[in-house]
Structure 1
């Protein structure tokens, strides 16, 4: 069931929550009771528009706080509320007294760890201890310090399912967002959402609107295929918008998530049985080839990959950056038989070099880390520039493969613009709306191909690999531009 959680101070304020819940399909509203007075709480609980959970989280134990907790739970029970969520730290005596006053209300007995996710064996012990108190549901919520912490929760849910234990379990924190969806898919009975991204009652909650309109959470089944993007950071990524739009357009039973990962090998080991395919971004486009994989001659020649299908527990690798960039090169004469400077020496730079060499370009590479650039230049047989003050006398095109508004790239481009006549700039960074490089090109009236176009072209190919289905590039572009400012 989908829960819309909110911490109100008045019934008038809570009416907006009710409206949001009705509009976007919440099954239950959670009323957090820490800030509301008794009179306003009664008004909220007397509104029977949607079923409710009443919850009170204590951050300090004092006589006045315990008194307030007791009073508000009794108000909730007297109203005939559908659920109460009681923290196990309130103690067995407190909980048993409440239970004597319960009529039809369902009890959720919850445990929270706001600092970390304990190892699986300790989570099992926590669940076993909680079950010493009879309850309709048990809830275990922990803090994820890395995305891989979500794995322990998923394994706990598997154990609970086998034992028919009614469990709600997920992580919280920024690393928990996609983990919450995986937990719900894996059997967690409730999914807690927020009204807006700035009104979370726990960190990592996803806005209800996103859940129902983009992720289509109501259509999430055990059979739903999971795809996602692996990398870090992922705030700038729009892949979740693109692919979930595509799944919805084509009627594909799949969902696409963000996997903000620091340890690729551990992620693949833990989650390969939960996912069907991944997009791969910074910093793992080259590292993915070091893991056991299945790859084509082209992948080996490029030395990087940005797409994988998981088959027999191994990633089958593809490079849709190459396919997308090749389309751009074919349609732009300035990317053929030209002198091209590539800024950067990572996985994207590899793909760009590999593609440009097929179109008779003279290629130069420069990078903040010279040794990395030299190694790549030697490997791919192109020229490397060590000193930015000793650039070639003529250059036609600059291609930026580095992320964000980094100073190395910006200062270099500023110097080149002042000294040379550049005909075209290609910026592979997706965040074109905030790109200083884009602004510099506009000021100088230099032709620009931005990262959004590159992203769209490669993503169309990636979607076809994931699903076997074609997607309208026109419709996808329109949807992304209309929803571009959304973040997950």
Structure 2
């Protein structure tokens, strides 16, 4: 049972057979779960007394038994009487919890009236697969669920925007203050932050699937990620929150890297993925000092310049921010750019063929440096290469964007189509800063193999996959290649130092990246 101030980790069991469910229950115990949810509606055949006896007898973990109907997002299509009877049997067989939907809770509460075992808890749940209601509506929903006789309130909503999550966080905090046990969940990728931060705000439990593909709801992380990537057992009310703001963010290796780095220096902090549609709205909604800093990726780097209270002069010149710090003294947001140092130093070392950092003259000096993309990362690379004495060409799908950046930086503009036949000299350097070729679109490439012959060095900011089609074909064409992973690790080290004021654990971070 939940201890004061702790959040339980629950693994949903969604197998089609009771034998597989029993095996999954043992696996959940081994994986570190506190309890399981037995989703009997997922069983292809279900004999209530026999199967529940088999699953509950000698179970290795406490269990929630749920028989979710189709009309509340489950698999069961029969009548409620059979369902109620199965849940009553589960209660009689010693299940610690039964979950019943608010719509039919009154009827079920009448059925079990006076028969509840001493340690049994009834979870009354409400699921909204469309949206997250207003704070007022959520508050009245809590009251209705309590009034019907719930021991534990369960409210599940869907995040249309990451800002929706703040309303559910308020509900959890309010219930915590009133000592009302509440399970709150926000479905979908935009709701992931809620699942990860449950222990910080006092949620009764959070769900983690046994494996990818065994989720019981959209946006559910695995228990392995909750424990090993996010170190969820260490998250408390005082934990500082950092994260990566982007769209998409699911591909980011940032959480693996930064959480391990935080752990290695003993910092009480967690780094989470933040799927953000509108940056200004997000920063306004998550304005608490606990949200201490953010990495900023595509497509928000330029908007971040406008959203920060202060911007570092280099980031301002570039016109893009990839790191936002909430200054502890006054809560103001300060923007920086670590992309530029990360990428340029990686390309320089790629040219030198080693990690020597102290050459007086940059190997970029005098070289023709072609940047594909005119967004935040494109600006950072163009600015950085220009500073090192390179001659700059900007190529972009839309010529207007290319010309805008070329004028700003003092360079030439081309369309991507024109770049195909652009080879004024040998030994050029190419840097792709767009998301072309990023997983899952791994067969895409910004430039044909034939056009790559004029380049001595090719850099790709995309690092999922590690070797993109662009890098593979550049290498086959005889160019030296520099992976986006190298830029990623260097800019991440810069971010870590801004986040913490401590030197980044470079060898640890490189070791993690090499294993990804």
With structure 2 as the length reference, what TM-score do the two structures score?
A: 0.88
Cα distance, 1:434 vs. partner? Answer: 5.8
* Distance of 1:319 and 1:63 partners within structure 2: 54
Match for 2:90 among 44, 54, 76? 76
Give CA deviations for 1:32-53 in whole Å, capped at 9, x if unaligned.
Answer: 1212432222111112321111
8 Å contact from structure 1 (residues 195, 208) kept in 2: yes
8 Å contact from structure 1 (residues 227, 257) kept in 2: yes
Match for 2:17 among 10, 24, 32? 10
Q: In structure 1, the residue corresponding to 2:79 is in which secondary structure? A: helix
**2:429 corresponds to:** 397
* Distance of 1:412 and 1:200 partners within structure 2: 39
**1:275 corresponds to:** 291
Within-5 A mapping of 1:47-58: 47-58=58-69
Q: 1:308 to 1:80 in 2, by over 3 A?
A: same
Cα distance, 1:415 vs. partner? Answer: 4.6
Give CA deviations for 1:292-316 in whole Å, capped at 9, x if unaligned.
Answer: 4212221211111100111334321
* Distance of 2:419 and 2:513 partners within structure 1: 37
Q: In structure 1, the residue corresponding to 2:114 is in which secondary structure? A: helix
**1:373 corresponds to:** 402
Match for 1:174 among 189, 202, 205? 189
Q: 1:93 to 1:191 in 2, by over 3 A?
A: same
* Distance of 1:32 and 1:409 partners within structure 2: 41
Cα distance, 1:390 vs. partner? Answer: 6.1
**1:459 corresponds to:** 492
* Distance of 1:45 and 1:275 partners within structure 2: 42
**2:150 corresponds to:** 135
Cα distance, 1:24 vs. partner? Answer: 2.4
Give CA deviations for 1:65-101 in whole Å, capped at 9, x if unaligned.
Answer: 3132122112211111111111111141222222432
Does residue 251 in structure 1 map to residue 266 in structure 2? yes
**1:429 corresponds to:** 462
Cα distance, 1:372 vs. partner? Answer: 0.8
Q: 1:139 to 1:389 in 2, by over 3 A?
A: closer
Q: 1:187 to 1:449 in 2, by over 3 A?
A: same
Give CA deviations for 1:193-220 in whole Å, capped at 9, x if unaligned.
Answer: 1111201111111111111111111111
Cα distance, 1:17 vs. partner? Answer: 2.1
Cα distance, 1:142 vs. partner? Answer: 0.8
Does residue 22 in structure 1 map to residue 29 in structure 2? yes
Match for 1:321 among 319, 322, 339? 339
Match for 1:341 among 367, 370, 392? 370
Give CA deviations for 1:152-198 in whole Å, capped at 9, x if unaligned.
Answer: 10121222223332211121122222221224421111111111120
**2:5 corresponds to:** none
* Distance of 2:64 and 2:132 partners within structure 1: 25
Cα distance, 1:103 vs. partner? Answer: 1.1
Q: In structure 2, the residue corresponding to 1:3 is in which secondary structure? A: strand
8 Å contact from structure 2 (residues 241, 292) kept in 1: yes
* Distance of 1:472 and 1:292 partners within structure 2: 28
* Distance of 1:340 and 1:164 partners within structure 2: 61
Match for 1:305 among 307, 317, 321? 321
8 Å contact from structure 2 (residues 315, 335) kept in 1: yes
Q: In structure 1, the residue corresponding to 2:394 is in which secondary structure? A: strand
**2:305 corresponds to:** 289
More divergent stretch after superposition (381-390 vs 425-434): 381-390
With structure 1 as the length reference, what TM-score do the two structures score?
A: 0.93
Cα distance, 1:474 vs. partner? Answer: 3.1
8 Å contact from structure 1 (residues 86, 95) kept in 2: no
**Runs of 4+, deviation exceeding 6 Å:** 406-409
8 Å contact from structure 1 (residues 151, 270) kept in 2: yes
Q: In structure 2, the residue corresponding to 1:423 is in which secondary structure? A: strand
**2:172 corresponds to:** 157
Q: In structure 2, the residue corresponding to 1:111 is in which secondary structure? A: strand
More divergent stretch after superposition (178-187 vs 225-234): 178-187
**1:210 corresponds to:** 225
8 Å contact from structure 1 (residues 77, 102) kept in 2: yes
* Distance of 1:415 and 1:125 partners within structure 2: 64
8 Å contact from structure 1 (residues 212, 218) kept in 2: yes
Q: 5+ unaligned residues in a row in structure 1: which ranges?
A: none
* Distance of 1:443 and 1:163 partners within structure 2: 65
